[in-house]
Structure 1
Amino acid sequence: METHNIHIVPTRNNGWAIAVEGTGGATSHYPSQAEAIAAGAMKAKRDKVELVIHGSDGAVQRTASFDQTIGP
């Protein structure tokens, strides 16, 4: 199964967006980075993928792994 990591990215209008790799664009928009991170973390946990948080300059600030694969 192909995984699509989730990115928290700045928008042109000083907001924040959740962008899923491979989808070609933002899937939802938020007024603050904190709100976008909270929503993105929930989605990353559900999808068991990486959450990649970008700063206002677009550079990666940090990542969080929610890949909880269990088993051999």
Structure 2
Amino acid sequence: MPKKDIHVVPHKDGWAVQKEGGQRASSVHDRKSDAQEQARDQGRRDKVEVVIHGQDGKIQNSNSYGNDPNPPKDRKP
């Protein structure tokens, strides 16, 4: 079974951490930074990609915490 990426998305109560394809949020946070921290921890644990969305729902950033067979050439902090 393939692992599902984790997304940080806008939520009516703030920001939600949600697995790809999931209908419910894993957690909801008041601040985006708190949601990103939770998503990073979960991404490292599950060895999957974490995708950060903006308030408009568009993807702003992503980080891979798994075994990426095609790693990017740029280096993100």
TM, length-normalised to structure 1: 0.87
Does residue 44 (structure 1) correspond to residue 37 (structure 2)? The answer is: no
Alignment of 1:1-72 (within 5 A): 1-13=1-13, 15-68=14-67
Letter in 1 for 2:57: G
Q: Which runs of 5+ in 2 are unaligned?
A: 69-77
Query: C-alpha separation between the residues in 2 aligned to 1:50 and 1:65?
Result: 4
Moved over 4 A (4+): none
Letter in 1 for 2:21: G
The percentage of aligned residue pairs carrying the same residue is 38
* SS state at 1:58 partner: coil
Number of residues of Structure 1 aligned to a counterpart in Structure 2: 68
Q: Compare 32-41 and 20-29 and name the one that shifted more.
A: 20-29
* SS state at 1:26 partner: coil
